[in-house]
A and B are shown apart, each in its own frame.
Chain A
Amino acid sequence: MKKSLMLVMALILTFTLAACGQANKTNTSAGNDAGANSSANGEKEKTTELSGSILAVGSSALQPLVDQASKSFMDKNPKVSIQVQGGGSGTGLTQVSGGQADIGNSDVFAEEKLEAGPAGELVDHQVAVVAMAAVVNPDVNIDNLTKDQLVQIFTGKITNWKDAGGPDQVIQIVNRPSSSGTRATFEKYALGTKTDDLAGAIQEDSSGNVKKLVKETPGAIGYLALSYLDDSVTTLKYEGVEATEENVANGTYPVWAYEHMYTKGEPNGLVKAFLDYMVSEEVQNGDVVELGYIPASKMQVKRDVDGNITK
C-alpha cells in the first residue's frame, strides 16, 4: 500500500516538474518578446550594443551549428543570450509559427510540413547545406549504386546483394523514421519516391546509431550526412558520382538539402543581427566547414521547394 502510494506521489511529482518546465518555456519566450522589443528600441536610440535573448528550436541536425555559432555570437555581445534547443524540424516549425520561438530550425522547407497559410508567414534563411550518401557495411564489396538499384533496394524488390553486384548476402535496411527530415531528403533526391517501412527493416532515430548498426550488421545499407562518414562504413557513389563537397557545390551530386532557419515575418533587431552573423564569412568558413556542413555561400546551384535547380 505504502509503496504504491509512494509511486503515485513520485509520478505526480514528475508531472508537476514537467509542467513547471513547460511554464518556464513560455516564460522565456515571453522574455524573448520583451528582448526583441528592447533591442528594437535600442536601434532607435542608435546604440550599437545588442541585448536581449533569442530562442531557437528545432532540427537536431542543425542544432550543433547554431549552438556553436551562438556561443561565439554571445562572446562578442555579452548582453545577448541565445538558447538553442533540439526537438526536431516539426517542433521547430510549429513553435516559430505559433510564436513560442524566435527562430525555427528545420531540415526541410516549411511548405513540406506546414499548411500553406502558416508556411506563407515564415521567412526562410538558408544557412548551410547538408549532403547525404548511401553507406554499406564494409563486407559488401561494392562502391557504386545507381538510382534504380537504390529504389529497388529500399522498396524491397532486391533483397540480396548478389542482385546488385555484391556478394551472396541478404540486404538489411537501416532506415530513419518516416517523419525524419534526413529520410525525406534521401527519398526525394536519391530515390525520387516515397518508400514504405518494410518488415524487418531497422529504423533508428540518430545518425550515430545508424552508423553503428551499418558498421556491425552484415549486409546493412543506410544513409548518413557527410559529416558522419568515416572508414568504418563504405560510402557509395551515386550514379558514379562521389559524394564530395565540390560535387555538391557544382550540382553534379544531387542528394543534399538546405538547413533552414525560419522566422515569423522579416526578422528585426537582435534576431536579424544573429541571422546575419550565421551567413557571415566568419561562420560560413569557420563553424560551418568545421562541423561538416557545406557553406550556403559556396553553392553554385540553387534549388526551390519543388526541387527545381537553377544555376
Chain B
Amino acid sequence: MAQSREKRKLKQHIIEEWTGKVFTSLCIVLLVVTIFSLVYFVATKGFSSFIKDGISLGEIFGGIKWKPEGEPPLFGALPFIIGSFSTSILAAVIAAPLSISAALFMVEIMPKLGRKYLQPAIELLAGIPSVVYGFVGLSVIVPFYRDIFPGQGLGIAAGASVLSIMILPTMTSIATDALAALPPGLKEGSYALGATRWQTLARTVIPTTLPALMTGVVLGMARAFGEALAVQMVIGNAPHIPKSLFESASTLTSAITLSMGNTVMGSVQNNVLWTLALILMLMTFIFVFIVRFLERRANR
C-alpha cells in the first residue's frame, strides 16, 4: 500500500519534470525564432535600399542632404546619425555624474533613507511613459531654453535634457547594485588605514566599481539612443546638422517615426527608413557588446 503510493508520487514527479522541461524549451525556441526572424526581417528590408534601389553606402553614411521627395531624391543620413550620437552622449554626460552621486549617497552616506525612500522614488521615473516626458519637455524645458538661449528652444539640448532624466533610473539602479556588492572588507581596510570617508570613496570605492558603473552608463546611453517619441517631440526634426545645441535637429529614431506611417511599403523612402532602423539595431548590438566587455573586466 505504502509502496504503491510512493510509486504514484514518483510517477507524478516525472510527469511534472517533463512538462516543465517541454514548456521551458518551447519558450526558449519561440524566443530564439522570434529574435532571429526579427533581425532577418530588418536586415533584408534595410539592405534592399542598397541592393534594389541602388543607393550607395557612401550616400547614406556620408551624405548630409536628406530630400526624399526631391528631384532627384537624396538620402544622406549623416545628420540623423550625428544627431543620435550627440543627443545620447550629451544625455549620458548629464546623467552619469548625477546617478553615480545619487548611488553613492544611497549606499555609502545614508543607506537607511536611501534604500527605503530614495531608490524607489528614482525607480518610479522608469515607469513614466515616454510621451509624458516628451510633453513635459515640450511644455517646460523648450520654453525655458527659448527664453534663455538664442534659438527656438527645440534641439539637441532639449532632447538630451529629457533623455537624461529618462535614463537616470537605469544608471542609478545599476550603480547602486554595484556599490552594494562591494566587499565590506575593502572599505573597512581603507578606514583602518586612517582614510577619511571622502578618501575611501574617491580612492577605493569608485576605482574598484568603475567598470560596473560604466556598464550602467552604456546601458543608459543605449536606452537614450533608441528612444523615439520623447526626443521627436522636443528636437525639432529638421534634417540638417545643427550649428548649435539649440537649433532644430534630427535623430535616427525621430526620422523613422516621423515618416514610416506616411510612406508606402516597398517605396525607396520606406526602404531607406528600414536602413536607418538597421543602423539603429546594429548600434544597439555594439552597445550590448561594450556592456559585455565591461562586465568581463568587472568580474576579473
Which of A's residues lie within 8 Å of B, judged by CB? 1, 3-4, 7-8, 12-13, 15-16, 19, 60, 86-91, 93-94, 98, 113-114, 172, 177-181, 194, 196-205, 209, 212-213, 216-217
CB distance from A98 to the nearest CB of B (A): 8
Contacts of A60 in B (CB 8 A): 261
A-B contact pairs, 23 of them (CB 8 A): A1-B299, A3-B177, A4-B288, A13-B31, A19-B34, A19-B37, A19-B38, A60-B261, A88-B263, A90-B264, A113-B264, A172-B152, A179-B69, A196-B70, A197-B238, A197-B239, A199-B238, A201-B238, A203-B238, A205-B237, A205-B257, A209-B233, A217-B152
Q: How many angstroms from the CA of A8 to the CA of B295 in the assembled complex?
A: 15
**Pairwise interchain contact A202-B152, C-beta atoms closer than 8 A:** yes
A-contact bits for B134-155, CB 8 A (1 contact / 0 none): 0000100001001000001110
Other than the given A4-B292, A197-B66, 16 more pairs (CB < 8 A) read A13-B31, A19-B34, A88-B262, A90-B270, A94-B266, A113-B267, A178-B259, A179-B262, A197-B238, A201-B238, A202-B238, A203-B236, A205-B232, A205-B258, A209-B233, A212-B138
What is the CB-to-nearest-CB distance from B169 to chain A, in angstroms, rounded to a whole number? 13
Give chain A residues whose Cβ lies under 8 Å from the Cβ of B31: 12-13, 16
Q: Is the CB of A198 within 8 A of B238?
A: yes
Choose from A1, A8, A201 the contact partner of B248 (Cβ within 8 Å): A201
Least Cβ–Cβ distance between A138 and chain B, in angstroms:
16
Contacts of B25-42 to chain A: CB distance below 8 A = 30-31, 34-35, 37-38
A34–B264 Cα distance when bound, in Å, is: 26
Say how far B272's CB is from chain A's closest CB, in angstroms. 11
- B269 interfacial by beta-carbon distance below 8 Å: yes
Which residues from B are CB-within-8-Å of A213?
154
Other-chain contact of B34, A4, A12, A114, A179 (Cβ < 8 Å): A12
Residue B260 lies at the interface, judged by CB distance under 8 Å to chain A? yes
**Complex CA–CA separation, A136 to B52 (angstroms):** 43
Most A CB contacts (10 A, CB to CB) among B247, B248, B288, B299 go to B248
* In the complex, chain B residues 51-106 whose Cβ is within 8 Å of any chain A Cβ: 66-70
Contact partners of B67 in chain A: CB under 8 A: 178, 196-197
B35 touches A15 (CB 8 A): yes
Known: A4-B288, A12-B35, A205-B257. A94 touches B238 (CB 8 A): no
Closest to A93 in B: B264
Instruction: Contact check, B263 vs A179: say whether CB atoms are below 8 A apart.
Output: yes
Closest to B70 in A: A196
Interchain CB contact under 8 A, A200 and B238: yes
The verdict on A4 contacting B35 (CB below 8 Å), with A113-B264, A194-B70 known, is: no
Chain B contact-residue range equals 35 or more
B219 contacts which chain A residues (CB < 8 A)? 3-4, 7
With A12-B35, A202-B154, A209-B138 as given contacts, are A1 and B295 in contact (CB-CB < 8 Å)?
A: yes
Q: A86 contacts which chain B residues (CB < 8 A)?
A: 261
Cβ-based interface call for B182 (8 A)? no
Closest to B266 in A: A94
Residues of B close to A15: CB separation below 8 A: 34-35, 38
CB neighbors of A among B249-290 (8 A): 257-267, 269-270, 288
Q: Say whether B45 faces chain A, with CB atoms less than 8 Å apart.
A: no
Which residues of the other chain, A, contact B291 by a CB distance below 8 angstroms? 4
Residue of A nearest to B212 (CB): A3
**B156: interface (CB < 8 Å):** no
Nearest neighbor of B255 in chain A, beta-carbon distance: A177
Given the known interface contacts A201-B248, A202-B237, the answer about A90 and B295 at a Cβ–Cβ threshold of 8 Å is no
CA distance A91 to B295 in the complex (A): 42
- The distance in angstroms between the C-alpha atoms of A40 and B69, with both chains bound, is 42
Chain B nearest CB, measured from A247 CB (Å): 28
Q: Is the CB of B238 within 8 A of A216?
A: no
A178's nearest neighbour on chain B, judged by CB, is: B69
Task: Tell whether, in the assembled complex, residue B261 and residue A91 are in contact, meaning their CB atoms are under 8 Å apart.
Answer: yes
- List B contacts of A178 (CB < 8 A): 67-69, 259
Please name the residue on chain B nearest to A20 by beta carbon: B34
Q: Which residues of B contact A93 (CB under 8 A)?
A: 264
Assembly CA distance A7 to B220 (angstroms): 12
By a CB distance below 8 angstroms, the chain B residues around A8 are 288
Q: How far is the CA of A217 from the CA of B152 in the complex (A)?
A: 7
Complex Cα gap A93–B35 (Å):
29
Q: What is the distance, in angstroms, from B178's C-beta to the closest C-beta of chain A?
A: 9
A228 to chain B, nearest CB (A): 17
Cβ of B174 under 8 Å from chain A: yes
Q: Judge whether B295 and A202 touch: CB under 8 Å.
A: no
B69 touching A194, Cβ below 8 Å: yes
Inter-chain CA distance A178–B71, complex, in Å, is 13
A4-B295 in contact (CB<8A):
yes
Asked if residues A177 and B238 are in contact (CB atoms below 8 Å), the reply is: no
Are A16 and B30 in touch, CB under 8 angstroms?
Answer: yes
| A4–B259 CA distance with the chains assembled, in angstroms | 32
Query: Contact: B262 with A181, CB < 8 Å?
Result: yes
**Distance in Å from the Cβ of B244 to the closest Cβ of chain A?**
10
Write out the residue numbers on chain A whose beta carbons fall within 8 Å of the beta carbon of B242.
Answer: 199-200
What chain B residues lie within 8 Å of A180 (beta carbons)?
A: 262
Residue of B nearest to A198 (CB): B238
Tell me whether B258 and A3 are in contact (CB under 8 A). Answer: no
- Establish whether residues A202 and B248, one from each chain, have CB atoms under 8 Å apart when the complex forms: yes
